[in-house]
Chains A and B, each alone.
Chain A
Amino acid sequence: MPPELAIRLRGAVKRYGEITAVNGLDLDVPVGTCVGLLGPNGAGKSTTMRLLTAQSIADEGEIEVLGFKLPDESKMARAQCGVAPQLDNLDTTLTVEQNLLVFSHLYRIGRHDRHEAIERGLEMAKLVDRRDSRVDKLSGGMRRRLLIARALIHRPRLVLMDEPTVGLDPQVRQELWALIDALRYEGTTILMSTHYIEEAQRLADTVLIMSHGEAVAAGPPSELVLEHAGREVLEVYGPPARLAEVEAEAGAAGLRTRRTGTSVSILNVDGFGGLDGERRPANLEDVFVLLTGEEIA
């Protein structure tokens, strides 16, 4: 039996004048999974997120969220979605608790359940002891946790996270990963956009790689790596002239390469022994650069 879908996009197109931000995108997000949209800035990830909340209206294609056709039935879908945006849009002059209170109303939580929902949100954000602090007094990590707790206050079936850890230090990023991981295990469906390879690899069951508004590959991270970059990659370092020779040799041997700053990475070198260099396991970044020709920040 095919899996139930929380999100279904077919041929979604969004244009802004001459620019096509999303170009014929197909996307399936099965219920209970975490799907990562991976791509560099400008790949169309944030526009895709806005299409899913009907804050952008697709010029072409079909979009269904939790069984509701967008944009006409978007409001019903939004009642069961939580959205953690890339840009912090908390009410900075309000306290932590007031921010959660406002969204408990906006998400129509009943009067009797409101207190419990706010307390749960405070605990999730680890801000119980900062409940009376104004948001503009919080650190970046605290604000990001609050933003996610705000999105989860009504126990949504689907959570949309747009670059949830962008701009945060590694320690705070780890904390948020743990929070997102816990949601996955609770069975919440998650669609998360990111341009961090490690984030996608660690959290997503399935990754959709986007470039210039199009999906260039999709699948579980390990399968994508195996399919496109093999098990091992050979990194060869040297001056530019030497790197050019290495690229030529690898090309002659039918191997694909990518430049990574001061080195050349030769993909899918399982069993190939023609060149000296450092061998390392292939990763999602190799796949991304190979498929899109773009480096990830």
Chain B
Amino acid sequence: MAVATRTARIGRLERPALTGVLVREIVNYSSYWKSSTFSSTVEPTIYLLAFGFGFGSLVSTIGGIDYVDFVGTGTVATAVLFSSAFPGMFGTFVKYQFQRTYDAILAAPVDTEELVTAEAVWIATRAGVYGCVPMVVAMFFGLDPAWGMLAVPFIGWIAGFGWANFGISVAGFSKSFENFNYVVSAVLTPLFLLAGSFFPLDDFPQWAQVLAQLNPLHHLVVLIRDCVIYGWDGWKDFLRLGALIVFGILMWRIAIFAMERKLID
């Protein structure tokens, strides 16, 4: 028997497919932006205030800058992490496991690569914006404005893209919410503490400092501080930026692999 007529071929990573998923996220965001913004900004701000004024009463300066400024810039990285890795993990899991949203999207002309990419782009965009909140709060406590601050949302976006894909990967490989506990305790918490957000790593043992070089969050912290306070540190900062880009690309491919395994049987 004859088969119905074909039409034009559709390619990979197409703009209409990415736009479709992004529109869904943006429309959805209108229903939950208040709670999302609250959790993504208040938590790092509390860290900033607690560490800034808590430790700040014991330590006035670090590396020649006020401790509040040190923590204010460090907390930017924390805000980026919180507002990208966690939505990547929990949001993705809920959407495929409970809401079956991804089944609906994949029945349309969208493939898993486009779905994951658009989700990560959206989360990264939010993370880039939310990451600026602690910096703005720190300005109220004395952090001086600097032109380099304009780069913070972009650097936050790049790091957020990597962490969003990290979260999506975790969701893709996990069978239940309970598995997230292992990731939070064994991966995110050590990376968080070994980033140099709240204290410098200079006095850490050599092995810890070497490990820190493998921590994307550490590179983000240093980049933010250099942009906001110390100034761009030439090729060293380009290397750090490159590390974040490599991290993002690596996690992006892993997230696509994980979600294809999960969504296509």
Contacts and interface: CB of A to CB of B under 8 A. Distances in A.
Interface in A107-127: 107-108
A106 B105 contact: yes
Interface in A1-36: 1-6, 8, 16, 28, 30-31
B10 A67 contact: no
Interface of B: 1-10, 16-17, 19-21, 23-24, 27-28, 31-32, 99-101, 103-111, 263-265
B3 A106 contact: no
Contacts of B4: 4-6, 31, 66-67, 157
A64 B1 CA distance: 12
A4 B16 CA distance: 30
Given A76-B109, A78-B109, A92-B99, 17 more contacts: A2-B1, A4-B2, A8-B3, A55-B265, A67-B3, A68-B6, A76-B6, A76-B9, A81-B107, A83-B104, A93-B28, A94-B27, A98-B27, A101-B27, A102-B20, A103-B108, A106-B24
B117 to A, nearest CB: 15
A89 B99 contact: yes
A296 interface: no
Interface string A73-94: 1011011110101010111111
Contact of A94 (B9, B28, B263, B265): B28
B6 A66 contact: yes
A75 B6 CA distance: 12
Nearest to A66: B4
A106 B110 contact: yes
B265 A5 contact: no
A193 B150 CA distance: 56
B9 A87 contact: no
A289 interface: no
A105 interface: yes
Nearest to B104: A89
B3 A91 contact: no
Contacts of B110: 75, 106
Contact of A107 (B8, B27, B109): B109
B3 A105 contact: no
A226 interface: no
A101 B109 CA distance: 16
Contacts of A54: 264
Contacts of A79: 7, 10, 108-109
Of B16, B17, B109, the most chain A CB neighbours within 10 A belong to B109
Contact of A106 (B8, B99, B108): B108
A75 B24 contact: no
A106 B21 contact: yes
A174 interface: no
Given A2-B1, A55-B265, A89 B109 contact: no
Nearest to A93: B31
B100 A67 contact: no
Nearest to A85: B103
Contacts of A83: 104, 107
Contacts of B23: 101-102, 105-106
Contacts of A50: 265
Given A4-B2, A93-B28, A80 B7 contact: yes
Of B5, B6, B99, B105, the most chain A CB neighbours within 10 A belong to B6
A211 interface: no
Nearest to A189: B4
A79 B109 CA distance: 5
A99 B107 CA distance: 15
B106 A53 contact: yes
Contacts of A66: 3-6
22 contacts: A5-B4, A30-B1, A55-B106, A55-B263, A55-B265, A66-B3, A66-B5, A67-B4, A68-B6, A78-B108, A79-B7, A85-B100, A87-B103, A89-B103, A90-B104, A92-B99, A101-B23, A102-B27, A106-B105, A106-B110, A107-B109, A157-B4
